[in-house]
Chain A
Amino acid sequence: MAEFLQIHEPGETPMPHADDNVAVGIDLGTTNSLIAIAHEGAPEILRGTDGRGMVPSVVAYLDDKVVVGADARPVLLDEPERVVASIKRLMGRGVEDLKTLGGKLPYDVDEAASEGGMVRLSIAGRSLTPVEISADILRALKNRAEEALDRNVEKAVITVPAYFDDAARAATKDAAKLAGLETLRLVNEPTAAALAYGLDKDVEGLYAVFDFGGGTFDISILRMEMGVFQVLATGGDAQLGGDDLDHAVAEHFLAERTETIGGDGELTITEVKNALMTARLAKECLTDQDQGKWMLGMDGEPTEHSLDRTHFNDLIAPIVERTIKLSRDVLLEADIMPDEVKGVVLVGGSTRVPLVREHVAGLFGQEPLADINPDEVVALGAALQAEALTAGSNALLLDVTPLSLGIETMGGMVEKVIHRNTPIPVAKAQEFTTYKDGQTAMAIHALQGEREMVDQNRSLARFELRGIPAMVAGAARIRVMFSVDADGLLTVSASEDSTGLEAQVEVKPSYGLSDEDMSRMLRESMEHGRSDMMERLLAEARVEGTRMLLAFESALEVDGELLIDDEKEVISQRISELRTAMTGDDRDAINTAVDVLNKATEGFASRRMDKDIRKALTGSSVDDIDGEMVNPEA
C-alpha cells in the first residue's frame, strides 16, 4: 500500500485516501474481457488464481448463482440455454436492430419485453438486458481485481470500440454503474492499444491501429506529436468481428452436415451454438496448423468435417477484405497514403489469423507490430490511462467522434451538426426555423451515422421544444446545440433565440436506461445475487446499519430535546434490535431493522427538518435499493 501512496507529489492529489485512488483498466470484450492495473507507468494484467488473464465474456445463469468466464463454458455444452456469449454485440441495441443483423442469432430474444426499448433476452427463466449481463461480467472482473489487489476497486477506465455509437457507450457506462464501478473515462480501444505500445513516449509520426476483435472492427489513424496523442480518423464496423469468421466456418460445416445426413437444414439455437463453438476451435487451430478435422455431434448423429488453411482462407476472405476496404476508406478520409504510416499496431485475437496479417502487411507495405499480446494490449493501455487520470500524466490524449451526429429535417433528411472525426469535447449549434405560420412546437430528432436519410441512420433521441411564440413561418430562430463530452456521449439542448425560450434536454438514447430501469436493475441484481454478492450485500447492510446508528446517535446528541412522549423508549428498543440483527448473517433482518428504526424515528426526523437542519437521517441508500424487499410488519 505504501508504494501507492508515494506516487503522488505532495499537494498534487486531492484524494484523502489512497484507496479512493485505485483505478483499473478494463477491456470489456465481445469474446474475452481483461482487467489490468498500472503502477508508475508499468501496466499489468490482473490474473485469476489459475494464472489466466482473459475472462471469457460468457455468463451462465444457474438457479442459485451467476457464473462468469471459463467456469461458464462447460455449462454451454450441457445447458446452452442458460448461457450468454458475445453480449457486447447487443449493447445499446433495440429489437429493430437485431432484425437487421440477419441470420439466426444465438440469443433467445424476449420479444414482448423488448418492444420499443432495449433488447431483452430470455435466459433460464429470466428476462435480462445486455446492460445487466455486461454488469455481471464487470462484477466478476471487479472481484478478480479486488482479490488480486486485496482492496476495494471502484474506479475504472473502460474501453469501447471506437465505432461504438452513443447508445452503446451509454449502455457500457450503465453496466459499470450497475456493477459498482465509477467510469473515469470511456477510452476507444485502438487508442488504448496505442498507449500500451508507448506510442505516447518517444516516437513521433503517424500510426495505424488495426483492431479486429471478437465482434467489432476498428481502424484508427493516430498522430503522435510533442507528447500529444491525437486520433486523426477512425472508422470500422461495430458489427464485424471474429464472430463473423466463426459464422462463415459454421455455415460451411452445417451445409456439409445437411448434405451428409439430409434434413431441411432447420436448426435449434443449441445446434447453432454448438456449430459456432466448433467453428471457433477450427479457426484457432488453423492459425498454426495447415489442416484439421472436427466433429459436429448433434441429436446423436455426429458428422465429421475437415478443413485446410486454403479452404478456410476462402471462407473468410470476404470478411477480411472488408476490413481492408474500411482501412483504405479511413486513410483516404484522413488524406494519408499507406506508406506515410510509420507503424501498424495489431489488436484483437482475430489479428492472429494469418490471412488477416498478410492483408494488413500488404496494405501498409510493412510487417505490423505485434510484440504485445494482441489480446492484452487494450487492457494494458486502459490501465495506463486509468493511472494517468488518477495520478497525473504529462501525455495528453485527444480523441474524436467516430460517427457524425445530426438532426432530422423536412423530408426525412439528416442534417449533420457534428461531423465524424471532430475532436472531442465539442459543442456545435445549428439554427432551424418553423415551417408553418403560428407553429408553437418543434420536434427534434437526433441521429447518428453517415447516411443521408433518417431511416438509414441510428435514432438516438427525440424530444419536443414547446412554447415557441406564434410567429409567421420562418421567423423563429431555434438553435439546437449538440455537445459531446470526453467520453463521446451526447447532450442536446434547444433554445428559441428571439424570445430566449430554452429547453435543456439531457438526451437519453432511445435504447438507454431510464433512472427507474437502473434502480430496478440494481435491486434485481441483488435479489438474484450469487453467494459472493450476498456476502457483499450483507457487508453493505451492516455498513448501512452502522452508518444509521452513528447518524442517529449524533442527531440525538444535538437535538435530543426534540423527542416526545415515549419515543425515547421505542427508539432505544429499535436500536437494540438493529444492533442484535447486525451481529447475525441475515441481511434482510438487518435491512428490516434499519427500516423499522427509520420509521420509528420519522417524527423525530421531521421535527429536526422543521428546525431547518438539512442533515436528514432518513433517505439513506438502503431505502432506495431495498425498499420493496422489506416487510414493514416485521
Chain B
Amino acid sequence: MSNNDNHKGEGQGHVHAHPDSPCWSCRGSVDQRAPFCHACGIIQPARRGDEFQRLGMKADFDLDPKDLEKRYFAFQRTFHPDRFATKSSREKQLSLQHATDLNEAYDRLKAPLSRAEALLETKGAGVDDHARTESDPELLMEAMESREALADAETADEVAKLEALTRADIELSEEALSLAFSADDLEGATGIVTRLKYLLKLLQEIRRKRLVLNN
C-alpha cells in the first residue's frame, strides 16, 4: 500500500487542474479533490470549494429542491460520522469535517436568499447590505412603513394578513432573482438580495408577534 507508483499514471490526468497530494494514511497520491484515496480507500480531508461544488452541482440559482436534497442525502450517507463510528479517531475527525461542510452547503443552497448570496460570492460579487440599504431610500421608507403596520396590528387576523402579504412579496422577489441571474445581471441580483433580506427579517418579526398573540 505504501508504494503507489502504479497510481501515478492515473493521477496525471488531473495534475493540471488539481495536483495530487499524498494520502495521509498510505502516502499514495490522491487527486486533491478526491474524498477517498484511490489506493487504500481511506477518507481524505474535505477540500472545501464552493457550496455548489461540495454537492456536485452546477453553480446556478435555479435548482430543483428535490435534486438538491437527493444529493445532500447521498453525500451524507457516505460521509456522516455515523458511518465512521468504529473507525480511527483521524477518520472520525475527517468525516466530521466532510459532514459539517455538507450541512453548511445544503443549508446555504436550500433557501433562495442564501443561495443567491452563495452564487454572488462564487461569481465574485459580494453584498454589502449596510451600504445598500442606506443608499436605497425607497427600501428604507418601505421598511419603516411595514414596521409601523406591524406595530399597529392588534389581532391575530391582522397579523396573519400582514404575513400573507409579506410572503407574496418574498415569492415575487425570488422570481425576480431567478430572472436577474439568468440574464447574468449581478448588479440587479444584488439589489434584490438586499430587499429579500429585509423582507425575511420582517417575516420573522411578524411570526414572532404571531407566537406572542397565540400564547
Residues of A within 8 A of B (CB): 13-15, 21, 184-185, 225-228, 325, 328-329, 332, 388-390, 392-393, 396-398, 422-427, 483, 485-486
Does B215 contact A396, Cβ atoms closer than 8 Å?
A: no
Indicate with 1 or 0, residue by residue over B69-83, a CB within 8 angstroms of chain A CB atoms.
110010011001111
Closest A residue to B103 using CB positions: A423
Residues of chain B within 8 A (CB-CB) of A15 are 86
**Smallest CB gap from B69: residue in A:** A225
In the complex, the answer to whether B85 meets A184 with C-beta atoms within 8 Å is yes
Q: Can you list 25 residue pairs at the A/B interface with Cβ under 8 Å?
A: A14-B86, A14-B87, A15-B86, A185-B85, A228-B73, A325-B215, A332-B207, A332-B210, A389-B86, A392-B83, A396-B76, A396-B77, A397-B82, A398-B76, A423-B103, A423-B106, A425-B81, A425-B96, A425-B99, A425-B100, A425-B103, A426-B103, A483-B100, A486-B80, A486-B81
Interface range for B:
20 to 34
How far, in angstroms, from A435 to B80 measured CA to CA in the complex?
40
Interface string of B104-124 (1 = CB under 8 A from A): 101100000000000000000
B3 at interface, CB cutoff 8 A: no
Most buried by A among B76, B82, B211: B82
Residue of A nearest to B85 (CB): A389
- Least Cβ distance of B44 to chain A in Å? 17
Please tell me which one of the listed residues A227, A328, A389, A422 contacts residue B82 in the complex, with CB atoms under 8 A apart: A389
Closest residue of chain A to B101, judged by CB?
A427
Which B residue sits closest to A394, measured CB to CB?
B77
CB distance from B209 to the nearest CB of A (A): 12
In the complex the two chains form, what is the Cα distance from A422 to B96 in whole Å? 15
Task: Name the residue among A15, A225, A328, A398 with the largest chain B CB count within 10 angstroms.
Answer: A398
In the assembled complex, the CB of A221 is this many whole angstroms from the nearest CB of chain B, namely 16
List chain A residues, Cβ under 8 A from B135: none
A424→B85 CA distance, assembly (Å): 15
Interface membership of B6, Cβ < 8 A:
no
Contact partners of A422 in chain B: CB under 8 A: 103, 107
What residues on B are CB-neighbors of A426 within 8 Å? 100, 103-104
Q: Tell yes or no: B2 within 8 A of A by CB.
A: no
- A427 touching B104, Cβ below 8 Å: yes
Residues of B near A483 (CB, < 8 A) are 100
Contact: B85 with A398, CB < 8 Å? no
CA distance A426 to B103 in the complex (A): 7
Give the Cβ gap from A321 to chain B, nearest Cβ, in Å.
12
Q: Which residues of B contact A332 (CB under 8 A)?
A: 207, 210-211, 214
**CB-defined contacts of B86 to chain A, threshold 8 Å:** 13-15, 21, 184, 389-390
State whether B215 touches A398 (Cβ < 8 A). Answer: no
Verify A486–B76 contact, CB threshold 8 A. no
Decide: A396 near B211, CB < 8 A? Known: A184-B85, A390-B85, A426-B100. no
A20 to chain B, nearest CB (A): 8
Q: Which residues of B contact A328 (CB under 8 A)?
A: 214
Task: Give the distance to chain A from B52, nearest Cβ to Cβ, in Å.
Answer: 19
A605 CB to nearest chain B CB (Å): 28
Known interface pairs A226-B70, A325-B215, A389-B85; A396-B80 also in contact (CB < 8 Å)? yes
Assembly CA distance A396 to B106 (angstroms): 16
User: A549 CB to closest chain B CB, in angstroms?
Assistant: 29
Minimal Cβ-Cβ distance residue in B for A393: B82
User: Would you give the shortest CB distance from A409 to chain B, in whole angstroms?
Assistant: 18
User: Which B residues are in CB contact (< 8 Å) with A485?
Assistant: 81, 96
Query: How far, in Å, is B190 (CB) from chain A's closest CB?
Result: 21
Interface residues of B (CB under 8 A from A): 69-70, 73, 76-77, 80-83, 85-87, 96, 99-100, 103-104, 106-107, 207, 210-211, 214-215
What is the count of residue pairs linking A and B with beta-carbon distances less than 8 angstroms?
64
What residues on B are CB-neighbors of A21 within 8 Å? 86
| Chain A residues closer than 8 Å to B76, beta-carbon distance | 228, 396, 398
CA distance A85 to B12 in the complex (A): 65
Give bound CA distance, A470 to B172, whole Å.
Answer: 48
What is the bound-complex CA distance between A474 and B85, given in angstroms? Answer: 43
* Complex interface: chain B residues within 8 A of A329 (CB): 211
In the A-B complex, the 8 residue pairs with the closest CB atoms: A389-B85, A486-B81, A425-B100, A228-B73, A423-B103, A427-B100, A184-B85, A425-B99
Nearest opposing residue in chain B for A423, CB measure: B103
Interface core residue of A21, A396, A483 (most chain B CB under 10 Å): A396
Q: In the bound complex, what is the Cα–Cα distance between A507 and B103 (angstroms)?
A: 22
User: In the bound complex, do residue B73 and residue A396 qualify as a contact, i.e. CB atoms below 8 Å apart?
Assistant: yes
Q: Which residues of B contact A425 (CB under 8 A)?
A: 81, 96, 99-100, 103
Chain B residues contacting A398 (CB-CB under 8 Å) are 76, 80
- Interchain nearest-CB distance for B213 vs A (Å): 11
Which chain A residues lie closer than 8 Å to B207 at the CB level?
332
Q: State whether B103 touches A424 (Cβ < 8 A).
A: yes
- In the assembled complex, how far is the CB of residue B145 from the closest CB belonging to chain A, in whole angstroms? 26
- Cβ of B80: which chain A residues have Cβ within 8 Å of it? 396, 398, 486
Q: How far is the CA of A432 from the CA of B210 in the complex (A)?
A: 32
Q: With A and B bound together, what is the CA distance between A390 and B82 in angstroms? A: 9
Alpha-carbon separation in the docked complex, A325 to B214 (Å): 10
CB neighbours of A393 from chain B (8 A): 82
Nearest Cβ distance between residue A389 and chain B, in whole angstroms? 4
Most buried by B among A14, A390, A486: A486
Q: Is the CB of B82 within 8 A of A388?
A: yes
Q: Which residues of chain A come closer than 8 Å to B215, judged between CB atoms? A: 325
What separation, in Å, do the CA atoms of A225 and B87 have in the docked complex?
27
- Determine whether the beta carbon of A185 is less than 8 Å from that of B103: no
A388–B107 Cα gap in the complex (Å)? 26
- Could you tell me the distance between the alpha carbons of A227 and B82 in the complex, rounded to whole angstroms? 14
Residues of A within 8 A of B83 (CB): 392
Question: Bound state CA distance, A329 and B87, in angstroms?
Answer: 39
Q: How far is the CA of A176 from the CA of B211 in the complex (A)?
A: 40
Q: Report the bound CA distance from A185 to B85 in whole Å.
A: 8
The residue in chain B whose Cβ has the minimal distance to the Cβ of A21 is B86
Q: What is the minimal beta-carbon distance from A227 to any residue of chain B, in angstroms?
A: 8
| Minimum C-beta distance from B82 to chain A (A) | 6
CB distance from B89 to the nearest CB of A (A): 12
Enumerate chain A residues within 8 angstroms of B70, measured Cβ to Cβ: 226
A185 and B82 in contact (CB under 8 A), knowing A329-B211, A396-B76, A427-B104?
Answer: yes
13 further contact pairs, Cβ within 8 A, besides A389-B85, A398-B80: A184-B85, A227-B73, A228-B73, A228-B76, A329-B211, A390-B86, A396-B76, A398-B76, A423-B103, A423-B106, A424-B103, A425-B81, A486-B81
A427: chain B residues at CB < 8 Å are: 100, 104
Per the bound structure, the CA–CA distance linking A13 and B100 in Å amounts to: 25
Q: How far is the CB of A400 from chain B (nearest CB, A)?
A: 10
Determine the distance from Cα of A332 to Cα of B96 in the docked complex, in whole angstroms: 31
Bound Cα distance from A389 to B81, whole angstroms: 9
